[in-house]
Chain A
Amino acid sequence: MPSPGHELPRLYMVTYSRVFSFPEEELPSLVSSAVSRSRIIVQLREKHLDAARLYTLAARLQSAINKSDSLLFINERSDIALAVGANGVHMPEQSCPLSATRAICPGLYTGKSTHSVQSAITAEQEGADYLLFGPVFDTPLKRKYGPPQGVKQLGEICKNVSVPVFAIGGITPENAASCLDEGAYGLAAMSLFASPTNLHRTIESFQTILNHVHHE
């Protein structure tokens, strides 16, 4: 199992299973199909599900990902990450402290959502293996987190930390290069799962851009 220290994939997909009628069936099959073409991170983030359903879904995603070199991260619930043998746990900003989570999850990647330079620096000090920063651009799914932060602010974050930073929030193949130019390590998106019909084409477009711009 890949563990911290290995190079992280640069494309990061956050699940959005509410578009599916049967998420426990449809999401794993979508993830299987995605990881068969590309090495990605899949973050299971389904806050509306109770822990029993979340566990079932996580276990299915883990078996869909097992045979690939992609990684499964679970949002916030380190217990579920440990229970299904996921590769990591991703902590929202108002979550159990990263240091406490790392203490019970040795060997798992731990990441953190950040919305400011200060919180990014703090997260790195607490031991985050990577950060999500956003929303970089305007997106209906992220409006509750405030106005878009813009690529300049993304650049500020990337200058102030040394761990990989993934840009999130309204990332499209059209604006992705501008994030990488500002120093982002990778690209994260929820909309990939919100419009599953174009999944392969979208992944391909992002991969082309990522292959074109090497992270330094």
Chain B
Amino acid sequence: MNKLLCFITTQQDNPEIVAEEALKGGTGMIQLRHKNASGHDLFTWALSIGKMCRRYGALFIVNDRLDIALAAGADGVHLGQNDLPIDVARKLLPSPAIIGCSVSSVHEALDAQQKGADYIGLGHIFPTGSKQKENAPLGPEYIRTVKQSVDIPLIAIGGIGLDNAREVMSNGADGLAVISAISSAVNPAEAARELAIIIEQT
């Protein structure tokens, strides 16, 4: 896997619009994440964003809802610690389809790798307003610790923006995932472009 910028959609009514801006800026992977949307809306968005991603040569994955990922023909699914177990999902979604897993410790990272995850999303690295978090941020140095334990790619997430992306990448991350750094930017495509350049250069 090349170094990757991943954009996770926000909890808003039309995730397609920002997703396309993110792709224009060079985002390599879009993750559709919307915890309250109906299955109908998720499927509709998955079809249109999936199509968009293919046009830009980017990967498209769905958060949590493997049913939607399968029905819409997504490239993969991203699973949290409270979602379907990775080994269960893997049986329904054989390689080369992608299964990513959210982890926040070396232990969880090893478990994800052992159960067949293709990459881990490690977070949250910095304080973040996008999601309510109970635990303290891991800090960028923790990326090194986890990288020493697992072989699969590590995508860092949580509070990452233009100000600290370089620090994250220089600690060994294989990519980074953002929500608000793109979605809340005045110019989302430009923000994605700048992040993609940092990833490439570090």
Contact = CB atoms under 8 A, between A and B. Distances in A.
Partners in one complex: yes
Interface of A: 50-53, 55, 76-80, 82-83, 91-92, 94-97, 100-101, 103-104
Contacts of A78: 67, 70-71
A96 B42 contact: yes
B200 interface: no
Nearest to A97: B43
Interface stretch (B4-12, B82-90, B171-179, B182-190): B82-90
A26 to B, nearest CB: 21
Nearest to A52: B82
B109 interface: no
Interface in B18-74: 38-43, 64-68, 70-72
Contacts of A79: 65-67, 70, 84, 89, 92
A83 B85 CA distance: 10
A24 to B, nearest CB: 14
A94 B68 CA distance: 13
A52 B83 contact: yes
A46 to B, nearest CB: 14
> Would you call the interface of chain A mostly helix, strand, loop, or mixed?
helix
Interface residues of B, number: 23
A79, A91, A103: most-surrounded residue (chain B CB, <10 A)? A79
13 contacts: A51-B83, A52-B85, A78-B70, A79-B92, A80-B84, A83-B89, A83-B91, A92-B39, A95-B38, A95-B40, A96-B40, A103-B71, A104-B67
B88 A96 contact: no
Nearest to A102: B71
Nearest to B83: A51
B66, B71, B85: most-surrounded residue (chain A CB, <10 A)? B71
A52 B71 contact: no
B39, B40, B72: most-surrounded residue (chain A CB, <10 A)? B39
Contacts of A95: 38-40
Interface string B82-106: 1111001101100000000000000
Contacts of B39: 76, 91-92, 94-96
B84 A104 contact: no
Contacts of A96: 39-40, 42-43, 67-68, 71
A100 B72 contact: yes
B131 to A, nearest CB: 15
A100 B47 CA distance: 11
Contact of A100 (B71, B82, B88, B89): B71
Contacts of B64: 51
Contact of A52 (B41, B72, B84): B84
Nearest to A49: B82
Nearest to B81: A52
A77 B42 CA distance: 13
A94 B38 CA distance: 6
Nearest to B42: A96
B128 to A, nearest CB: 20
Contact of B67 (A52, A76, A92): A76
